[in-house]
Amino acid sequence: GESVGLHLPTLSVQEGDNSIINCAYSNSASDYFIWYKQESGKGPQFIIDIRSNMDKRQGQRVTVLLNKTVKHLSLQIAATQPGDSAVYFCAENNNAGNMLTFGGGTRLMVKP
Amino acid sequence: DSGVTQTPKHLITATGQRVTLRCSPRSGDLSVYWYQQSLDQGLQFLIQYYNGEERAKGNILERFSAQQFPDLHSELNLSSLELGDSALYFCASSVGGFGNTIYFGEGSWLTVV
């Protein structure tokens, strides 16, 4: 199974509702941000990314918002489904190679 | 399936021992990364290789080493193992460097007893 922090913040939502997962990043020099989804027993799966010259990017059912002023990133999932239940990590990249610095993760639980 | 292959999936070994974790990157990817995921430290970057050369180093202990071979597969060597080294070790790969999407493998579960 997965190995994640024991004290992960948890977001519990009803199936069909929208979910918003927040992340505060640390390095003002970071200019590339990624959201990953990690299901139990699996590796992090790429969801969506955004570069610092954008403040919003949309994918299929997901939207990432970037607020560089307050160093905040959010992931919005529309019409949340049971299959969305997982731990979600934001990661930042400050152009020092391609090294990702991961946040602590948020556990999303979807109630049927 | 990300296309990144890691072996073994699970490994149990005793303290003081040495293990080698193996990774095959996605076809065409030149960069390989190693990350450690533990309960109390989250996902931590260890080291990156690009086309056989070390590109970046993170919080990798001196007891740990890695290399990338000419066929681009990589190995992470962990020696003098301690109980605290028990963790999930991920390999990831990308086409190149900055800004390229990084894809993760399924990880190797290491338990040190």
- Give pLDDT tens digits for B30-52: 999 999 998 777 899 999 999 99
Instruction: Write out the residues of chain B at the interface with chain A, using a CB-CB cutoff of 8 A.
Output: 2, 4, 31, 33, 37-40, 42-45, 48, 55-56, 58, 87-88, 90, 92, 94, 96-107, 109
Buried b (16+ CB within 10 A) or exposed e, A1-14: ebbbbeeeeebebe
The predicted-structure confidence for A38-74, as pLDDT tens digits, reads as follows 998 899 999 999 999 999 999 999 999 999 999 999 9
**pLDDT given for residue B65 in this prediction:** 97
Interface of A with B (CB under 8 A): 2-6, 32, 34, 36, 41-46, 49, 51, 89, 91, 93, 95-105
- Reported confidence tier of residue A97, pLDDT bands at 50, 70, 90: low
Q: Which pLDDT value is given to residue B59?
A: 84
Positive or negative torsion for Cα A59, B46, B107, A7: negative
Alpha-carbon dihedral sign for residues B12, B85, A38, B68: negative
Pairing of strands A19-24, A32-38: unpaired
Contacts from B24-29 at CB under 8 Å and sequence distance 24+? Answer: B24/B72, B24/B73, B25/B72, B25/B73, B25/B74, B25/B91, B25/B93, B26/B2, B26/B93, B26/B103, B27/B3, B28/B95, B29/B72, B29/B93, B29/B94, B29/B95, B29/B103
Residue to mutate among A2, A3, A4, A8, with most B CBs inside 10 A, is: A3
